[in-house]
Structure 1
Amino acid sequence: MRIRHWAPLPLTGLIALGVLSESAIAACPESGVRLPAGNLSRALISFGRQCRVSLLVQTDSANAIIIPEQQLETPDGRIAPALTQLLKHTPLTYTHAGTNAVAIVSRGPVAEELEEYGAQTHLPAEEVTVTGHSLTGSHLRHLKLDSYAPIDVLAQPELEITGAQTVSELLKYLPAVSGNSTSTSVTNGGNGTATVTLRGLPASNTLVLINGRRIVSNGFGGEAADLNTIPLSAVDRIEILKDGASAVYGSDAIAGVVNVILRRDFEGLDINTYYGQSRYNDQQTESHSLTWGAGSDSGHLMLSLAHYRQGEVLSRDRALSDNADNRLRGGTDQRSSASPQGYIALSDRVVTNSDTGYREWTSEDLYNFRDYTSALVPSERQSLYLSADRTLSDSVDAFAELMAVRTRSESDLAPTPLFTRFDNGDLRISADQVYNPFGEEITDVRKRLLELGPRVQYNGTDTLRFNTGLKGLINDWQWELTAATHYTHAQETLSNLVNPEHLTLGLKGPDICNASTECVPINLLGPTGSITSEQISYIRAANDVDGVSRMTSLTYIANGALGENTAGEILAAAGVELRRESIDFNSTDHTGQSPIGSVASGSALGRRIIGEAFAEISLPLRRDSLWLDGAVRYSDYSDFGNSGNPKIALRWRPWPALMVRASYATGFKAPTLVDMNQSGHQSQEYLFDPCTNSNANTLPGCNGQADQARIQYLTEFGGNRNLQPETSDNRSLGIVWTPGDFTGFHASLDLFEIRQNEVIDTSPQYLINQNAHYGLFRDRVHRDTQGDITSVTATRLNIGSREVMGADATLRYQYQSKELGLLRWSFNSSHIHRYLNQLAPGSPVEDLAGTFVDAASGGAGALPHWKANTGVYWQRGRWEGGYTIHFVGELEEQFTLNDAPVTRTIESWTSHDLQVAYNIPSGFRFALGVDNLMDTPPPFAATAFNDNFDARTYDLTGRYWYTTFGVSF
């Protein structure tokens, strides 16, 4: 590659307001561009901001050139005449470096070589080209005209055109995202956090970075980073590397990397406000942000403040989610046997309350709990982001970043269900209990305690991140020393629960429950309203969870040129990192005796020290056509041992318009501190017991037919200090085509394969299936004499394996003319060909590709064969607009109906988004948009516990209108 003049390390590169991707829109205001007096770097910052384009420049050259204040003409909004005028009396010129990126280069050999290489015909820059900054997946810093792996990039103008207000909302519809990510769309089972899952692998297999650096995991479990603690208003761009990267970043980067790049070089003042609501007059959401930046030749300071508030959607307010009885839709009746009138099992019959007294209980007495539940959690967030840079000498700069984020959410769940036979405590109702009219001991009562009111779940997270360090040059090698400390404190309170100890006493006779013991008898056998306020006060309880995660680190990275061979310049990077991680997680139920109606989160206390060393190299094998890239990382963990992971990649360009790329890497995911240290975790899991089928008497593990009315089972989870890392092998092969005679067109196709072993799993459904069908795991699946499961013990083990194979395809085209303005079309898709999953050695290997198994049942979620989006975007003068289509392919789900297995198809789903914006003179911008223009509801899923659809994949809101207004000074 003969662009070696770009390799020297004074490159600090990107000086535009924002790094734009191919999918961004770039054009200048027709009224022209006004530039301030000063060095050329500051002028280009202003130019990039006004014209919405990436300008890439060798900063030391630009800082040395002083220009006067001037007004540049931009006829028809075109960029070229203005740049020509600006650079006319300088030794610099410009050239394309991607569909929407422009490189400022020397008028000498560099420009000539770029033209020889085909840069004028839109080089294949993936989604973004960055000079002097490493793309995600590498620490090497050079003109990265092509990458060894596919990278999706979402940047500031594209963020505006989507109307998204949170990072999780932005990532949800990316084709490579599938499986069990969480967000505020997940209510029962959610905790106010948001995660991302690439390739359908768990969120702990996707590494989330900020500015290329690790961040602390969420305080509720430490398994993955919480995207809700990253304010979108402070984001410059998001790079999604769809390839394993443990050799570069260490643990967790098995499925890929999400790198959130924050705004740093902004100058001026931006104020933005947003408001939206659905056509059903709910989910009223507002967002306000202020960004200010100022700089000089010696330093820069930027401040960003933001406030976000999301409204609520209730399950009862959508036709799809208002009832848990899905028989008319072809599903099952998922209503609860714990009803307000009660399910009372006597020695000879089962009765319930009615207006005329007790009568026989029937399945039509099941309770629809959706009348109370939230489908979208109301939440709010406030954030502060501060960035500062200071030049200390000609070769050393200091930097610091501070981010503080406060998040709060509150959702409603149905009133506490009580199952006296299966919940914590000795909940038998004595024969002589004051409210027992039947004269016999009653062990099985199922009752919905409406008198307590709905359960209310409150979640709060406070996060603080601080990074500081030095960066500079030593003999043309660029180095960076960074010290970081991150802290997150998470709290959860679930109220209107039942104290099992008080309830145990309240269900006994006068010899145990009497005035001297301050016991209040509890009436579980009466109709709704029979439980008095005194009784409610006696049994009411709440569950509090408190978790703190901390991370401190010291990192040193250096990169530069090792020298040259006959094919070009050899680039290298190396570094070391020392990191300390800790978690202190506890709850009021840490003894394992959880309040009834909640999940016993237990406790976990752990810490570890990690030492790592890594190196990278890019070796040209044939000038301008063949490169070998390699990386290796060694990681040593204080609690389980060490891991070494290499990566090798080959890039071959047989001719300028075509590139072939291939890579192989190993990866690992360290067991989390919760995986290794948690104890006392209990939950009523939504599981299926094969012993409830009519053929139960033929199954080795069944003691007769179990209770068919049950769908929840008490499950005890736990950590394991002997866990080892999950390991993986990642392979990819791709082709990128950018024909020089078809300006603005880009196409790529990449095949990927991930093989994962020693997967840490805890699958109670697997244990139950093996117990029922083969009589195994009797020490983990506990049944009573009637054959009903009383509890399941499911501690974590290294027992699973996975293999995921698929392909990513992208197409892009851009066209600009005086009559039409700027038109851009893009298509992005991901295909999962197979997703082989083996829960444990010896168990069946299942292909989950194209299936849905709810996370509430221990499944991997929705794994569609196809997921894609396409869009057309337009800008002319002050007007711009976008039209985007999101597609999720059909899925299959399996369940049992009338004792017979059923395989059902979940229909494909398509939604349409539209936005129109107008840029008013003097820096004002107004936009109006609508998401889900056709008001298409999500497809019905018979096995989905939350609201009859998969909230992790689809959106229940319906047609949603929003408007934004911004002003820049």
Structure 2
Amino acid sequence: MNAPRRHPLAKAVSLCLLIGLPLLAAAQEPSTPTDQTRRGATTLDSIQVTGTRIRKAEIETQTPVQTLTREDIERTGLTSIGDILQELTGSGSALNTKFNSSGNFGFSPNGDGVGAGSAQVDLRNLGPKRVLVLVDGMRWVNEASASGVGAATDLNTIPLALIERIDVLEDGASSLYGSDAIGGVVNIITRRNFEGGQVTLNYGQYGEGDGTQKGADIAWGFNTDRSNLFVGISHVDQEEILSKTRAQSRFPVPGTGLTFASSGTPNGRFIFFPGTASSACPLTDVDDNPATAPVPFCNITTPNGSSYAPIPAYPGDFIGFGTANRFNFSEYNMLLTPSERTGVFGQYRFYFNDKVHAYAKALYNRRESTNQAAPEPIFLGPDAGTGNPYADDITIPGSHPYNPFDIDLVSSGPGANLVLIGRRPVEGGARVYEQKVDTKYFAAGLEGSFGNEQTFFWDINVATSENEAEQTNYGSYNIRNIALALGDTDSSGATCAGTPGCVPLNIFGGPGTITPEMLAWIQPVVRDRSEQSLDLVTANLSGDLFDLWAGPVSFAAGAEHRRYEGSYTPDPINYVTMPDGSVESHYNGVPSLPTAGKYDVSEAYVELNVPLIREGTFGKSLDLSLAGRYSDYSTFGSQFTPKYGLRWQVADELLLRATYAEGFRAPSIGELFGSASRGDLQIDDPCLVGLDGSPPTGSAANCAALGVPPGSAQSNSQISVTTGGNPDLDPETARSFSAGLVFSPAFASGAAWSDRLDFELTFYRHSLEGAVQAIDAQTQLDLCVETLNPLYCDGITRSSVGSINGFNNRLTNLGSIKTDGWDADVFWTLPETAAGRFKLSWQNTIVTRYEAVGAAGQVQPRGVGIEVTDSAIPEWTSTANLDWRRDNWNASWSVRHISELEEQCGDAVSFPVCSDPAKGTNTLDAITYHDLQLGYRIEWFKGLQLTAGANNVFDKDPPICLSCSLNGYDASTYDIPGGRYFYLRADLRF
């Protein structure tokens, strides 16, 4: 996979030239070039076009570039770049502020943490880490959210006020831009030649009276004969929406009540073997061994809402634990997380003369966001499955002042009788995660041109950028202090009585019995930090090399050096050094270890545009593009990536184009150096009785071989999975192909019924090998139970009662990802009449294949038309926009369509909400959203533009998702339940 380090840059250049020479020899006679103006063509002076490095007065890219203008952005009524890009038909599932991720999702194996408060973009369903984000053609620093070292870009670090337009290239472009440009490139172009001032005020609110969003943008600039300056300030304040305010999100799984709620309740759940039967713990057969069955077994709690001073009496105050006693954690979650963002951006250019100018840019952005989860549960005993001995191997002596059972509760070893204690201390309040993310960016450079008959453009650039994040967590617990407060000694021999500040903990008494003194001992304030930085230097040269029979051969060449550095520093409670030198985690939540790493890369590229035909037998023009990039990484060695393209102007009305590209993505800092951390994932154990009482689905013989006693039940839907990076990872390699046409019929140009009509059709195919990811945890468990293969079972351990108490799921170079599909677009501009001017655009993406296969051939669950792991790949997504202008009035009507999906019902198969229980699947029906906007320009008041709009006008609720982690719907695909959103905007220029 790795190219040798001795590979010189000369080979990259010569390869492109050698491939092109035979084609040049077969070229046709020269003729006069023609211009074809259409969507996708871009006119340049010295501005870089997305999709090519060649700078020329007129050039067209080999692949279609979708451009979002400021008008397009304002039409959405949205205030986040990420939310805007996620509405593109070619976008896949990615994080946004509708994900209340902290405290629920845990850590992914990518080492990127939970990305709380960030907004990302996914193109072609290949993942956000495979999309390269540029600002004015230069790389943007990766995210920091104080929970890991991410491989994706947080678009919430870029204010809307500085954006002139957004170019989206949905094609592989590693030969032009290097690593990460596998799924595509998003290039954000900043505002530059701005004269005067502009103030924009935004106010929006959901129809339920919540989720208020307020914003203010200020822009100011001036131009002189030798300079221009632009300054922009942006502020956005988005308020939260609580899950309990919508019927669809009030329970963990809609339509199932408390069945899938938590066994960690304010009144506690206590599972143990008491030795003797009682009215609360009758004889229960939990063992198929005739010598020991039946045995007394307790699975008990106290009545909901009851509280005892100080403890309940056993057995009279206890009842059997059932579904009605589970805790509804969803009521504490958020449908929309609060996010406040303030950004300042400035750009100055000075022209020394007509040939040379200098520029400097600077940005500072502060994001403050909050996630919230239910009060953190405390799980103790072997069925807790946390992997922390303070929780899993705890012993609570019968002499403990708050132990109502008067027997030692022992987790392991001789006399083991404890299975699980679950208690949710509502006295400690909800878990609140507050993030502060600071983004700093500075760039400077020189740009110029030289030459007389032939003009060459050059530029030299330097940039430095940094994301720094802090997260403060209120409402979590210190598990060692909990263990001390419940037992006699810890592993170091410490005792509660001999430890200053230790207060015995009442975990048995019910809500209100954990005192402020107890909380002061077990509840810390947890502070985590992360940061990423990117420093780069680039130099580029572009122009015409020489003339051929069909026109000049154009080129671009350049070099780039980048240095990446990132780190994640969790609160020291995650890794405490004990007196004997050992390191322990004292964190009751999702623990993690520090991560730090850095690497650098040096690159050089060359790109050629070779005209082969002009006005010949085979059409008006035929152009060949060749590009190659050589990259040398300090982490794994060197890589060469080529790209080839053809553009054939068959006639004025018809353009054909095709590209083939090879690409790669280097493993990120988090993927390489990420330390072991934990994610609490929704997993159905096929060897255990389901939460709804359904029988195990796995082979009884295989489950017995794995150490699962018959009749064992799954007590909690969340299973702790250990994740982490892998320093031996290789880069991902990719191949992409696209072919398409643009048809602009002459009969629809300048006609009475049409000013212009364009049809665009593009076929795309991406093939990714050695994808860096972990096998889906549910798939790994299912395959372990099905095959007993150590490849899947190694790393999965079980307790004496059969439940999983260890699950290791690390990154590898997984097998492959293959996807292909079609983009089909129509753009129609109608002539202006007395009724005004209308423009129609209709964009569609149809995904015909998506296959992910593991390194050992295991098929991953994602696919076309399937919902899994809070993400979806619809077969068809479509967006239609109808714009209207007349005098000072303007309006737009947008229609967004998402085709139906299918998911596995899991343990919810026995509920009516599962649409096809026979197949065990649930259908998420197709949905169509309608958005409206109306604006008026008041000329007498300095051209004040007033705009009112509504998104999801008909208040469509998203389809119910049974497999999604939170809120009963897929937050990366659909609008929120009760999602009708109204907004007003005032825009004043002066």
**How far does residue 590 in structure 1 lie from its aligned partner after superposition?**
4.8
**One of 582, 591, 595 as aligned partner of 1:600:** 591
Task: Describe the SS at the equivalent of 2:808.
Answer: strand
Please tell me whether residue 520 in structure 1 is matched to residue 524 in structure 2.
Answer: no
Matches within 5 A, 1:267-282: 267-282=195-210
Contact 1:410–1:457 under 8 Å retained in 2: yes
Read off the aligned partner of 1:637 and give its amino acid letter.
Y
Which residue of 1 is the match for residue 839 of structure 2?
824
Percent identical among aligned pairs is: 30
1:593 deviates by 5.0
1:683 Cα deviation after fit? 2.5
- Per the alignment, do residues 702 and 952 of structure 1 end up closer, same or farther by CA in structure 2, a change over 3 Å counting? same
* 1:386-425 equivalent positions in 2, closer than 5 A: 386-421=346-381, 422=384, 423=386, 424-425=388-389
**Residues 159-168 or 701-710, more deviating:** 701-710
Q: Matched residue of 1:929: which SS?
A: strand
Distance 1:389 1:641 in 2: 38
2:814 aligns with 799
Structure 1 contact 613–633 (Cα < 8 Å) conserved: yes
Pairwise CA distance, 1:513: 4.6
Matched, 1:467 2:443: yes
Question: Aligned partners of 2:654 and 2:669: how far apart in 1?
Answer: 46
Q: Hey, what's the Cα distance between the residues in 2 that align with 1:712 and 1:328?
A: 17
What is the distance in 1 between the residues matched to 2:667 and 2:173? 17
Point out where structure 2 has 5 or more consecutive residues left out of the alignment.
Answer: 1-30, 106-113, 274-296, 307-315, 410-417, 576-582, 615-619, 690-695, 750-755, 911-916
Alpha-carbon offset, residue 907 of structure 1: 1.1
Q: Which runs of 5+ in 1 are unaligned?
A: 1-111, 856-860
Q: Is the Cα contact below 8 Å between 2:479 and 2:586 reproduced in 1?
A: yes
Q: Is the 8 A contact 2:51 2:65 kept in 1?
A: no
Letter in 2 for 1:703: G
Q: Higher relative contact order by CA 8 Å / sep ≥ 6: 1 or 2? A: 2
| Alpha-carbon separation, structure 1, partners of 2:815 and 2:479 | 36
Query: Is residue 572–residue 618 contact of structure 1 (8 Å, CA) maintained in 2?
Result: yes
1:3 aligned residue? none
Assess if the C-alpha contact under 8 Å between 2:42 and 2:60 holds in 1.
no
Of 283, 299, 308 in structure 1, the residue corresponding to residue 211 of structure 2 is 283
Q: Aligned to 2:819, what secondary structure does the other structure show?
A: strand
Alignment of 1:551-950 (within 5 A): 551-588=534-571, 589-591=573-575, 594=585, 596=587, 598-623=589-614, 624-693=620-689, 694-696=696-698, 697-699=700-702, 702-704=706-708, 705=710, 706-743=712-749, 744-763=756-775, 764-775=777-788, 776=790, 777-844=792-859, 848-855=863-870, 861-897=871-907, 902-921=920-939, 922-950=942-970
Matched, 1:204 2:129: yes
Indicate whether 1:349 and 2:369 are aligned.
Answer: no
In structure 1, what is the Cα distance between the partners aligned to 2:946 and 2:496?
69
In structure 2, give the amino acid aligned to 1:907.
D
Q: Which of residues 330, 346, 353 in structure 2 aligns to 1:370?
A: 330
Q: Which residue of 1 aligns with 2:160?
A: 232
Q: Is the 8 A contact 1:715 1:792 kept in 2?
A: yes
Task: Encode CA deviations 1:605-648: one digit per residue, 9 max, x unaligned.
Answer: 11111000001111111014211111110111001111110000
RMSD: 2.1
Q: Partner amino acid for 1:515?
A: A
Runs of 4+ in 1 over 6 A off after TM superposition: none
Measured after TM superposition, the shift of residue 124 of structure 1 is 2.2
Query: 2:290 maps to what in 1?
Result: none
1:265-321 alpha-carbon deviations (Å, 9 max, x no partner): 111100110111111110111000110000111010110011110011100001111
1:451 to 418, 427, 440: 427
Displacement after TM superposition at 1:533 (Å): 1.5
Q: CA deviation at 1:128?
A: 5.7
- Pairwise mapping of residues 19-168 of structure 1 onto structure 2 (< 5 A)? 117=35, 119=36, 123-126=37-40, 130=44, 132-144=46-58, 146-168=60-82
SS at match of 2:920: strand
* Residues 1:335 and 2:311 aligned together: no
Q: CA deviation at 1:842?
A: 2.8
* Alignment-derived partner of residue 488 in structure 1: 467
Residues 131 and 891 from structure 1, CA distance in 2 versus in 1: closer, same or farther, beyond 3 angstroms?
Answer: farther
Decide whether aligned partners of structure 1 residues 158 and 512 sit closer, same or farther in structure 2, where only a CA change above 3 A counts: closer
SS in 2 for 1:772: helix
Q: Distance in 2 between matches of 1:661 and 1:870?
A: 25
Number of equivalenced pairs: 846
CA distance in 1, matches of 2:771, 2:71: 39
Q: Is the 8 A contact 1:345 1:445 kept in 2?
A: yes
Kindly provide the amino acid, as one letter, of the partner of residue 154 in structure 1. Answer: L
* Conserved? CA contact 1:543–1:595, under 8 Å: no
Q: What is the one-letter code of the residue matched to 1:708?
A: Q
Structure-1 residue corresponding to 2:12: none
The one-letter amino acid paired with 2:969 is F
Match of 2:11 in 1: none
CA distance in structure 2 between the partners assigned to 1:594 and 1:113 by the alignment: 74
Scaled by the length of structure 2, what TM-score is found? 0.83
Give the conservation status (yes or no) of the 8 Å contact 2:172–2:736.
yes
Residues 865 and 169 of structure 1, relative CA distance in 2, 3 Å threshold: same
User: What is the CA deviation profile of residues 84-119 of structure 1, one whole-angstrom value per residue up to 9, with x for unaligned ones?
Assistant: xxxxxxxxxxxxxxxxxxxxxxxxxxxx989x64x5
Q: State the alpha-carbon separation in 2 of the partners of residues 312 and 862 from structure 1.
A: 25
Change beyond 3 A, Cα 1:888–1:128: farther
Distance apart, 1:179 and its partner CA: 2.3
Letter matched to residue 929 of structure 1: G
**Secondary structure of 1:661's partner?**
strand
Tell me, what secondary structure is at the counterpart of 1:622? strand
Asked if the contact 1:405–1:463 (Cα under 8 Å) also holds between the matched residues in 2, the reply is yes
Question: Offset of 1:439 from its aligned partner?
Answer: 2.4
1:962 is aligned to 2:983: yes
Contact kept, 8 Å, 1:314 with 1:373, in 2: the verdict is yes
Question: How far off its partner does 1:161 sit?
Answer: 2.1
**AA matched with 1:771:** C
Pair 601,426 (structure 1): closer, same or farther in 2 beyond 3 Å? closer
8 Å Cα contact 1:128-1:153 kept in structure 2: no
Shift of 1:709: 2.5
1:870 CA drift (Å): 0.3
Alpha-carbon distance in 1 for matches of 2:921, 2:674? 37
Asked if the contact 2:484–2:496 (Cα under 8 Å) also holds between the matched residues in 1, the reply is no
**Aligned AA for 2:989?**
S
DSSP-derived class of the 1:517 partner:
coil
CA gap of 1:682–1:325, structure 2 versus 1, over 3 A, is: closer
Superposed displacement of residue 185, structure 1: 3.9
TM-score when scaled to structure 1? Answer: 0.85
Please tell me whether the aligned partners of residues 541 and 595 of structure 1 are also in contact (alpha carbons under 8 angstroms): no
C-alpha offsets along residues 393-422 of structure 1, whole Å, 9 cap, x if unaligned?
332100111111010011221000121132
Task: State the shift of 1:186 in Å.
Answer: 4.0
1:436 match: secondary structure? coil
After superposition, the C-alpha distances for 1:542-591 in whole angstroms (9 at most, x for unaligned) are: 33221111111110001001121111121110000011110121102553
* Closer, same or farther: CA 531–590 of 1 in aligned 2, 3 Å: closer
Residue type of the partner of 1:447?
R
Q: Which moved more, 1:290-299 or 1:533-542?
A: 533-542
Give, in angstroms, the shift of residue 184 of structure 1.
4.5
What is the rounded CA distance, in whole Å, between the counterparts of 1:131 and 1:870 in structure 2?
33
Which stretch of the first structure deviates more once superposed, 586-595 or 923-932? 586-595
Aligned to 1:260: 188
